[in-house]
Amino acid sequence: MDFDLTEDQRMIRDAARRMTEETLTPLLAREPQDQPLSKAAMQEVYGYLSDFGITAMRLPAEQGGSGMTMVDYGLIMEQLPPVIGLSLISHDGSTTRISTGATPELRAAHVPDLIAGRKIACTATSEANAGSNSNAISTRLEQDRGMLRITGRKMWITNASVADVFVVTCTSGVDERGKPRNHRVLVERNTPGVEVTEIPLTGLRQGHLSEVSLDGVEVPEGNAIGEPGDAGRFMTLVWNGNRPLLGLSALSIARRAFDMAREHCGTRQQFGRLLSQMQLIQQDLSEIETLIESGRLLCLSALHAMDRDRRANGTSAMAKKFATANANRAIDLAMQLHGALGITTELGIEQMWRDARIFQVPDGTMGILSLIHGRELTSKAAF
């Protein structure tokens, strides 16, 4: 395998870094640091993302997408501020879900605006009793006189409070084999009966995680996406791509913590010499970079497998589990190398630790990821 980036990949990576340094980071800095970004700020963010051509990374160019590879996506994700990266993953995945299976009329009504950044999308799947177990979804779908009526409550939905359209996963019961008949339905934010409540987070506090209540929400039959029962398959396809991307985003935080720790150890003196001259300090610095680089390579390997149309269920799960665990361990070590300074809010590494911890939850917790990987290894489902 050739680990060298192509010239195009280097250009994409460097351009994404410049966008972050020149536009996205200053935008985040001017907003309150401990509360979700306003809708106006998010629309500005998506204007930049659209101009860069990454609001629909997984759509082919002939459908208005970027036409880039998943590895390209990963290289870009490493450069984006993590709070924006997490939002983009939700938006891009939701745009893919809408474009795959929606009627031409529904696509024409929404996908061009989603690609242009004029609208923001999210997917509402998780519920209080249906987080990792999507087959336990209880949000009901009923059909009545050409309309679809949705009733239920969704939890922990990324982007919901700033989204214009939701892809809602709901159920109409079970099929003849007893399997859940889950559906994908597009619901616009301003539809009567939709209520969104922001959920405070321990990290990524400028981001958006919400509870969504759907109280007898009615939409036209044409808002149905795909076929009854296909929701799970499309969720898995999107999740397989999301997981290594989330891992890379977490590792980008760890990389910043590592850079700070290395600089600190090169200037801070104890016992008459620099910290960087001490054996245990060098051991910790070596451990941090090893954690980051090994996690990164596994994530890029999973994305490379998807680019080659290989089955990536186990590889993707393994990559996210390993990378996010490594990121948290690396940041913890960086905090320790700063001593008392590392646990102050002044330095900011404690904020990095809280931000990175968030990435261990979306699209599969650590235990569920192990079970997915184990199922691939043994061909036996443990759940």
CATH tag for 233-378 (out of 3.40.50.720, 3.30.70.260, 1.20.140.10, 1.10.357.10): 1.20.140.10
pLDDT tens figures, 79-131: 999 999 999 999 999 999 998 889 999 999 999 999 999 999 999 999 998 87
Q: What is the DSSP letter of 20?
A: I
Helices (H), the chain: 7-19, 25-30, 39-52, 70-77, 82-99, 104-115, 231-265, 279-307, 313-337, 349-358, 366-378
| Mean pLDDT of all residues in 345-356 | 94
pLDDT tens figures, 360-371: 999 889 999 999
User: Average pLDDT over the chain, rounded to whole?
Assistant: 93
**From-to residues of CATH 1.20.140.10 in the chain:** 233-378
**From-to residues of CATH 1.10.540.10 in the chain:** 7-115
What is the model's pLDDT at position 134?
A: 75
What is the model's pLDDT at position 307?
A: 93
| Mean pLDDT of all residues in 59-79 | 92
Residue 229: pLDDT over 80? no
Work out the pLDDT band at 216, boundaries 50, 70, 90: very high
What is the model's pLDDT at position 6?
A: 92
Burial 114-138 (b: 16+ CB within 10 A, else e): bbebebbbbbbbbbeebbeebeebe
Contact present, 29 and 41 (Cβ < 8 Å): no
Residue 211: pLDDT over 80? yes
Distance CA 341, CA 278 (A): 19
Q: What is the DSSP letter of 1?
A: -
% of the chain at pLDDT higher than 90: 81
What is the model's pLDDT at position 1?
A: 64
| Mean pLDDT of all residues in 140-168 | 95
| Mean pLDDT of all residues in 218-230 | 89
Residue 195: pLDDT over 80? yes
Helix (H) or strand (E) holding 144: strand 140-144
From residue 215, give the alpha-carbon distance in Å to each of 193, 222, 229. Answer: 5, 20, 23
Quick count: other Cβ atoms within 10 Å of Cβ 11? 11
**From-to residues of CATH 2.40.110.10 in the chain:** 121-227
Residue 176: pLDDT over 70? yes
Look at 24-33, 223-232, 280-289 and tell me which has the smallest mean pLDDT: 223-232
Distance CA 375, CA 383 (A): 9
Distance CA 59, CA 119 (A): 16
Residue 235: pLDDT over 80? no
What is the model's pLDDT at position 231?
A: 67
Report the candidate in 67, 90, 89, 66 with the shortest Cα–Cα distance to residue 78. 89
Largest Cα–Cα separation, the chain: 82
Burial 58-77 (b: 16+ CB within 10 A, else e): bbeeebbbbebbbbbbbbbb
CATH class of the region 121-227 = mainly beta
Look at 67-76, 102-111, 168-177, 206-215 and tell me which has the smallest mean pLDDT: 168-177
CATH, range 7-115: 1.10.540.10
Report the candidate in 162, 142, 143 with the shortest Cα–Cα distance to residue 151. 142
